[in-house]
Amino acid sequence: MTHHDRALVLFSGGQDSAACLAWALDRYAHVETVGFDYGQRHGVEMVQRTRVLDQVRSGFPAWAERLGADHRLDLTAFGTIGQTALTSERAFEMDARGLPNTFVPGRNLVFLTWAAALADRRGLGRLVGGMCETDFSGYPDCRRRTLDALQNALNLGMDRDFVIDTPLMHLTKAQTWALTYGLGGQALVDITLEDTHTCYAGERGDRHDWGYGCGVCPACDLRARGWREWEAAGRPALSP
């Protein structure tokens, strides 16, 4: 097993990172996970991510053998700098750049840098993240161009050869459901529906056809639209 067969998944407990986790478990011999506590509303994500890991372990024995340690890193100090709708009670609005205030400046740069430091210590050669250019709000730190530059900076700065994998980069949200289905069938779709958390408002509340959430925030809206689009297409499976 080389270090490029050992991965660290940035795992928030959301739909996208759950798909990334399955993608990594399907592909690599050893997979660890990292979650960042940066003062998310209500801390729901941190609770749900443990549930998803437990469900994956019990539902997929072959993957359980590959799934290693889960790490939690405290980034609450960063959260106090990047106060936005995601971490406080402010309403959703757009700024002068045309970015929604759910954008936490530099968040993925910080997350990936911390993840790389952890991966260095753990002998993990791959960082896997759910960043996506296709379907979201145009967050500049989700673009592949940004991640290529960061990968280069991390490798120069740590004298490593990390690879940042972004399996969802060019997928729509409907295609992410299709990938989930292709990787783990209905069992993985069920875990995603029941236990992953995407809602910005931190609400579990009502069970919708697409899972739990407030149903009105941008993240719920995107998740719901992706689900309906996937269902309308006849629930296709996307091969990893």
* Minimum distance of Zn ion from residue 52's CB (angstroms): 18
Which segments within 11-149 are labelled E, that is strand? 30-37, 67-74, 126-128
**Selected range binding Zn ion among 8-16, 102-110, 142-150, 206-214, rule: CB under 5 A:** 206-214
d(CA 4, CA 170): 22
Nearer to Zn ion, 104 or 183 (CB): 104
What DSSP string describes the chain?
A: --GGGEEEEE--SSHHHHHHHHHHHHH-SEEEEEEEES--GGGHHHHHHHHHHHHHHHH-HHHHHHEEEEEEEE-HHHHHHS-STTTSSPPP-B-TTS-BTT--TTHHHHHHHHHHHHHHHHT--EEE----SSSSS--GGGSHHHHHHHHHHHHHHHT---EEE-TTTT--HHHHHHHHHHHHHHHHHHHHHHH----TT----SEETTEES-SSSHHHHHHHHHHHHHHHTT-PPPP-
Pick between residue 4 and residue 42 the one whose CB is nearest to Zn ion. Answer: 42
Least distance (Å) from Zn ion to the CB of residue 203? 6
Nearer residue to Zn ion within complex by CB, 182 or 213: 213
Q: Pick between residue 68 and residue 218 the one whose CB is nearest to Zn ion.
A: 218
Q: What are phi and psi of 10, to 5 degrees?
A: -75, 105
Sites for Zn ion among residues 173-202 (CB under 5 A): 199, 201
In the complex, the smallest distance separating the C-beta of residue 23 from Zn ion, rounded to whole angstroms, is 25
Shortest distance in whole angstroms from residue 200 CB to Zn ion: 5
CB of 10 or CB of 217, closer to Zn ion: 217
CB nearer Zn ion, residue 39 or residue 184: 39
Q: Provide CB contacts within 8 A for 153, sequence distance 6+.
A: none
d(Cα 17, Cα 198) in Å, to the nearest integer? 10
Give the interface segment with Zn ion, choosing from 44-52, 98-106, 110-118, 213-221 (CB under 5 A): 213-221
CB of 173 to Zn ion, least distance (A): 14
Q: How far is the CB of 43 from Zn ion (least distance, A)?
A: 15
- Count of residues engaged in binding Zn ion, rule: CB under 5 A: 6
The answer to the question of residue 220 lying near Zn ion (CB under 5 A) is yes
Q: Tell me which residues in 93-122 interact with Zn ion (CB under 5 A).
A: none
Question: Interface with Zn ion includes 217 (CB under 5 A)?
Answer: yes
Residue closer to Zn ion, measured from CB, 130 or 184: 130
Smallest gap from residue 223 Cβ to Zn ion (A) = 8
Question: Which residues of this chain interact with Zn ion, rule CB under 5 A?
Answer: 199, 201, 213-214, 217, 220
